[in-house]
Amino acid sequence: MNVRVLLTRPWIWGFAAAALVWVAILAISGQGGGQTVSLALSLAPYLVVVGLGQMLVITAGPGNIDVSVASVISLAGFVSVAAAASTGSVVLGVGAGVAAGIAVAAVSTVAILGLSVPPIIATLASGLVASSATLSLAGGFTAVPDPGLRELLNLRPAGVPLFAVAVAAVTAAVVAVLRRTVYGRSLIAVGQNRRAAERAGIPVRRVIAATYLASGALAGLTGSLLATYIAPTADLGTRYLLDSVAVVVIGGTLISGGRAVPTGVWGAALFFILLDGLVNLVGWSTAAQNLLKGGLVLLVLFLAGGGARTPGTSLPSLRRRRRPAAADTTTPGETTDG
Amino acid sequence: MHLDNIPPREARRRGPDGAPVVTASGVTKTYGRTRALTGVDLEVRAGEVLGLVGHNGAGKSTLMRVLAGLESCDEGRVTVRGRHAAPGAAAFRGVRMAYQETSLCPDLTVAENIWLSSRHCLPRLRRRRAAGAAARRRLDEMFPGHGVSPRDRVEDLTLARRQMVEIARASLVDALDLLILDEPTESLGPDAARSLYDHVRSLTARGVAVLLISHRIGEVLSVADRVAVLRDGAVIAERPAAGLGEHDVLTLMGAQVAERDAHRPAPSAGLPADRPVVAELRGATGSGLRDVSVRVGAGEVVGLAGLAGQGQQDVLERLWRPARRDAKVRATRAYVPGDRQRSGVLPLWSVAENLVVTAMRGIARRGLRRPAEEREVVRSWVERLAIRGGADAAMTELSGGNQQKVIVARAFASSADLVLLDDPFRGVDVHTKTGLYRLIREEAARGRSVVWYSSENAEMAHCDRVYVLRAGRVVAELSGDEISEERIIAVSFAEPDPPTAAGRAQGAPGRERPQEARNHG
């Protein structure tokens, strides 16, 4: 794969940006390049896991988004720590966290498919349900996270966090699901053109339900592990709402659906974590950080929409939905025939 | 501006004395490695209808875009009224084009769409009302009884009505020089087509030039004054339409005129008793249908005919999603949509991925795909239907005809026992169609059942049995030798009471009614 081919891969930009920020950190602080990477690698996986779920949802097509992830992370944190403390089993604890995520996603799914509520509203509502559950759990919460799991999450043989390796494996699994399973292909088809997918015999509603449940489960998993890694708090997941959407978009996944780029989520997550480090180093406030991130997302969307001239690399997010595009695309098409 | 005012056709013919409106000389156009136009010389004269015919891929779309000033040409020149004009120049303002796959904004209303494209000739003040009035006036003029309200959102309109709005939109300009119509009647019913061509004649009588592109050769011959045949990116013949036969044109286009009856089955009366019924509607009523009973036997090709929008698609819908008790479908199903941009093409995928998406489910084991088997299926179908560009081409790079081949192959490549065709061969060239007809018969011979709605009555000759629908009812069931274009047209129009507004209101339930009632009553 030569450089030119590499540049057409949508996931490359997240990694490139991450490398750029890393160099900037190195230049400013003048020390500990390896340490910075190691730290980023231990924080980024949490964002990657929730980002992968968000990516699946966004891939399901225009309008699909899961804004309940932040509340799910916070809720799952409490649920899993409580379950682990009361049963004494870490596995059960994490399982309970995942189950909490699935339960919240089930509420969204029923609202989206059963009541035809737009996904952003449905997940907002189920997110509210989740955060009120979190608040009632948080009052007088005394359980502490399992020290064994925390140690495992902190394990860094040769500076490489074990957890990052595990999440890399999860990412590879998501890639395989999207490429090799009927569900994955169906999801991508639904995201490109829901009507066409329905006419092609794909059970669209089942695919969409499975996708939201998967996103809920992954957010639940993130919450469980994050609560063990840091501590269960009511605003544990807050920053993950914007960030999960942002890493998906920056990673090269089409915001209008139909193309998922799991590898890109990694690049973008590393970029975001490093960016946090850089901004802290420079001494910016959280507000300024968020401003920067929001601007970056807009910039990427602008580039994706405006820079879609070259075929192959094109991100036809905007073009696809216009009718005249149909006439446009048939014109060169006619010629391949003549 | 009505029929009476138009001089008879022969008197109208101006021959070569009409001044050229748009002239192309030596025009070439290349996209990547493909040469779309290889040197076109064409002249469209004032007051004439020029018919442009050619296979899918002959370069018609490209030529139109060049003539309309939407695209530049590599070599040669385009002149408008004798003056050289660059694409986008003001000279092209009087050249308007109605696209086959309409260019309307789906989320806007009809009036808003009209405003978008004709704002320079509409008053700025109270523009909504002005655009709405202009749209209504032009639609009334072109398609009496169109049933479109300027306030309708384009997305909610049927394909036929969208097409009407598209054509009206194209003709709404203060000084129309040339009107380009790209397959204008593909989605229209015969009535609407007739009134469109009446309007076209009144336009030419006023000195407007009309360029008509259509696969319906008969229609071109009856409407056009001259016919230009495009083949491999060049005009290979230009003849007066008078005295030219359909067969001559097809030969010029390079088609081998297919024998339609070659695969015709032996005549049979009704559904043969020995055939198991795979799908059945029993007295289906509601959502556009009234007491419709349809039976489909194994290995049978069942046609749904009649004028467009009489409930044929509702029958298909019931068979595709048999939710109610009046539908009994025992077979696995596959669907071939007619509106390929909206419900066929998966635009980000290659031909192979588009083709195999339905079959994938049957090939897969426990939810895991089997790539080798899929590739084999794709390879055999790309070969069988001779899909240009091959399996790895991007779907959107293909011509319309080839896209349609892929979508037909998608359904037949699956293991479905019952294939539902929703008028899938609109705008597909003769060659491709003939191949697909053969495919349908072959697959039926293997025991598959096909239910086929077509707006082109000639296609029904490939069916074993045909149900003719009118206003949501089955008005006739034809089989074997009874199936002929003339017969279908006869039953589609024949009615106990004449089709007056009152009679139709009584007889036609369903979604067509409310809008018409709103406009006329």
DSSP for B386-445 reads T-TT-TTSBGGGS-HHHHHHHHHHHHHHS--SEEEEESTTTT--HHHHHHHHHHHHHHHH
| A238: alpha, beta or left? (left if phi > 0; alpha if psi -120 to 50) | alpha
Minimal C-alpha gap between B399 and chain A (Å)? 4
pLDDT at B206 over 70: yes
pLDDT at A153 over 50: yes
Residue-level pLDDT at A6: 66
Per-residue pLDDT band at B184 (split at 50, 70, 90): confident
pLDDT in tens, A249-259: 889 898 889 99
**Which of A193-207, B194-208, B301-315, B437-451 comes out lowest in average pLDDT?**
B301-315
Cα B198 off chain centre by? 20
Instruction: Output phi, psi for B357, to 5 deg.
Output: -65, -35
Provide the ipTM.
0.81
CA A113/CA A268 separation, integer angstroms? 31
Residue-level pLDDT at B59: 81
pLDDT in tens, B274-327: 678 888 888 888 777 888 899 999 899 999 988 777 788 889 988 998 887 888
Among the listed residues B306, B288, B189, the one whose alpha carbon sits nearest the alpha carbon of residue B514:
B288
CATH classification code of A3-307: 1.10.3470
- HSE, CB side, 13 Å, CA atoms: give it for residue B363: 20
Residue-level pLDDT at B254: 65
Tell me the chain B residues in contact with residue A308 when contact means C-beta distances shorter than 8 Å. Answer: none
Residue B231 CB contacts under 8 Å (≥ 6 apart), including other chains: B54, B55, B58, B252, B253, B254
Q: Which residue of B has its CA nearest to A338?
A: B57
Instruction: Taking residues A200-204, report their average pLDDT.
Output: 94
Instruction: Taking residues B54-67, report their average pLDDT.
Output: 79
Cα B250 off chain centre by? 19
Cβ of B34 and A201 within 8 Å? no
Residue-level pLDDT at B216: 77
Residue A32 CB contacts under 8 Å (≥ 6 apart), including other chains: none
Residue-level pLDDT at A338: 31
- HSE, CB side, 13 Å, CA atoms: give it for residue B78: 26
Residue-level pLDDT at A13: 82
Cβ under 8 Å to A: B residues 306-365: 333-335, 337, 341-349, 353, 357-358, 360-361, 364
Instruction: Taking residues B325-349, report their average pLDDT.
Output: 88
Residue-level pLDDT at B485: 74
| B311: alpha, beta or left? (left if phi > 0; alpha if psi -120 to 50) | left
pLDDT at B12 over 60: no
Nearest by CB: B398 against A180, A183, A336: A336
Tell me the chain B residues in contact with residue A189 when contact means C-beta distances shorter than 8 Å. Answer: 346, 349, 357
Asked if B236 is an interface residue toward chain A (Cβ–Cβ < 8 A), one would say no
Sheet architecture: strand order including B83-84: B34-45, B20-31, B75-80, B83-84
pLDDT in tens, A281-319: 888 887 887 888 888 878 877 776 543 333 333 333 333
Of A21-35, B66-80, B358-372, B450-464, where does the model show the most confidence?
B358-372
pLDDT at B33 over 80: no
Minimal C-alpha gap between B451 and chain A (Å)? 15
Tell me the chain B residues in contact with residue A192 when contact means C-beta distances shorter than 8 Å. Answer: 346-349
Handedness of CA B379, A320, B94, B70 (dihedral sign): negative
**Which of B79-83, B170-174, B182-186, B491-495 comes out lowest in average pLDDT?**
B491-495
**Which of A7-16, B236-245, B416-425 comes out lowest in average pLDDT?**
A7-16
State whether residue B466 is helix, strand or coil.
strand
Q: Can you name the residues that pair with B465 across neighbouring β-strands?
A: B302, B479
Q: Which residue of A has its CA nearest to B335?
A: A199
Per-residue pLDDT band at B360 (split at 50, 70, 90): very high
For chain B, list the domains and their CATH numbers: 19-103+173-253 (3.40.50.300), 258-331+418-521 (3.40.50.300), 340-416 (no CATH)
Nearest by CB: B59 against A195, A329, A335: A335
Q: Which burial class, exposed, middle or buried, applies to B33 when counting CB atoms under 10 A from its CB (0-12, 13-18, 19+)?
A: exposed
Contact assessment for residue B139 and residue B164, using Cβ atoms and an 8 Å cutoff: yes
H-run or E-run covering A170: helix A162-180
Q: Which burial class, exposed, middle or buried, applies to A224 when counting CB atoms under 10 A from its CB (0-12, 13-18, 19+)?
A: buried
pLDDT in tens, A12-46: 888 888 898 898 888 888 777 788 888 899 999 99
What is the value of pTM for the model shown? 0.70
Looking at chain B, how many residues does it have? 521
Residue A149 CB contacts under 8 Å (≥ 6 apart), including other chains: A84, A90, A93, A94, A225, A228
Residue-level pLDDT at B121: 78
CA B251/CA B437 separation, integer angstroms? 20
Cβ of A330 and B335 within 8 Å? no
Of A110-124, B228-242, B303-317, B391-405, where does the model show the most confidence?
A110-124
Share of residues in chain B with pLDDT > 90 (%): 23
Residue-level pLDDT at B495: 44
Per-residue pLDDT band at A322 (split at 50, 70, 90): very low
Instruction: Taking residues B242-250, report their average pLDDT.
Output: 81
Residue-level pLDDT at A277: 86
Residue-level pLDDT at B375: 93
Minimal C-alpha gap between B343 and chain A (Å)? 4
**Chains A, B: CB pairs < 8 Å:** 159
Residue-level pLDDT at A222: 95
Other C-beta atoms closer than 10 Å to the C-beta of A38 total 16
More confident residue, B109 or B174: B109
The residue of B348, B355, B426 whose CB has the most chain A CBs within 10 angstroms, and thus the best one to mutate to test that interface, is B348
Asked if B72 is an interface residue toward chain A (Cβ–Cβ < 8 A), one would say no
Q: Which residue of B has its CA nearest to A319?
A: B347
Instruction: Taking residues B73-82, report their average pLDDT.
Output: 86
Mean pLDDT, chain A, whole residue set:
85
Which residue is it, tokens 């007088």? Answer: A140
Minimal C-alpha gap between B346 and chain A (Å)? 6
Residue-level pLDDT at A317: 38
Report chain A residues touching chain B, CB-CB < 8 A.
Answer: 180-183, 185, 188-189, 192-193, 195-202, 254, 258-259, 311, 316, 320, 322-324, 326-327, 329-338
Q: Which residue of A has its CA nearest to B344?
A: A196
Asked if B432 is an interface residue toward chain A (Cβ–Cβ < 8 A), one would say no
CA B29 to each of CA A198, A260, B495: distance values in angstroms, whole numbers, following the listed order: 38, 36, 52
Nearest by CB: A335 against B57, B343, B357: B57
Minimal C-alpha gap between A90 and chain B (Å)? 31
DSSP B256: P
Mean pLDDT, chain B, whole residue set:
81
Among the listed residues B22, B51, B14, the one whose alpha carbon sits nearest the alpha carbon of residue B252:
B51
CA B74/CA A148 separation, integer angstroms? 71
Q: Which residue of B has its CA nearest to A196?
A: B343
More confident residue, B24 or B103: B24
Of A201-210, B220-229, B462-471, where does the model show the most confidence?
A201-210
pLDDT in tens, A61-107: 999 999 999 999 999 999 999 999 999 888 999 999 999 999 999 99
DSSP for A206-270 reads HHHHHHHHHHHHHHHHHHHHHHHHS---TTTTTTHHHHHHHHHHHTT--TTSS---HHHHHHHHH
Residue-level pLDDT at A117: 92
pLDDT at B255 over 50: yes
Residue-level pLDDT at A196: 94
Cβ of A334 and B367 within 8 Å? no
Instruction: Output phi, psi for A246, to 5 deg.
Output: -65, -45
Residue-level pLDDT at B273: 61
pLDDT in tens, B386-421: 888 888 888 888 887 888 899 999 999 999 999 999
pLDDT at B243 over 50: yes
Q: Which residue of B has its CA nearest to A323?
A: B103
Per-residue pLDDT band at A3 (split at 50, 70, 90): low
CA B181 to each of CA B65, B140, B184: distance values in angstroms, whole numbers, following the listed order: 12, 18, 6
* Angle ∠(A171,B374,A210) on CA atoms, nearest 5: 40
Per-residue pLDDT band at B233 (split at 50, 70, 90): confident
A307-334 residues labelled b (16+ CB within 10 A) or e (exposed): ebeeeeebbbbebbeebebbbbbbbbbb
Cα A290 off chain centre by? 17
Residue-level pLDDT at B261: 43
Which residue is it, tokens 């924080």? Answer: A43
CA B411/CA B118 separation, integer angstroms? 41
pLDDT at B440 over 60: yes
Residue-level pLDDT at B34: 64
Q: Which residue of B has its CA nearest to A256?
A: B348
**Which of A186-195, A224-233, A323-332 comes out lowest in average pLDDT?**
A323-332
Residue-level pLDDT at A213: 97
Instruction: Taking residues B503-520, report their average pLDDT.
Output: 38
Contact assessment for residue A195 and residue B155, using Cβ atoms and an 8 Å cutoff: no
Asked if B386 is an interface residue toward chain A (Cβ–Cβ < 8 A), one would say no
Tell me the chain B residues in contact with residue A181 when contact means C-beta distances shorter than 8 Å. Answer: 364, 367-369
The residue of B116, B313, B354, B357 whose CB has the most chain A CBs within 10 angstroms, and thus the best one to mutate to test that interface, is B357
Residue B53 CB contacts under 8 Å (≥ 6 apart), including other chains: B213, B214, B215, B217, B220, B227, B228, B229, B230, B249, B253
Cβ of A259 and B32 within 8 Å? no
Nearest by CB: A337 against B32, B343, B399: B399
Cβ of A326 and B367 within 8 Å? no
Minimal C-alpha gap between A59 and chain B (Å)? 12
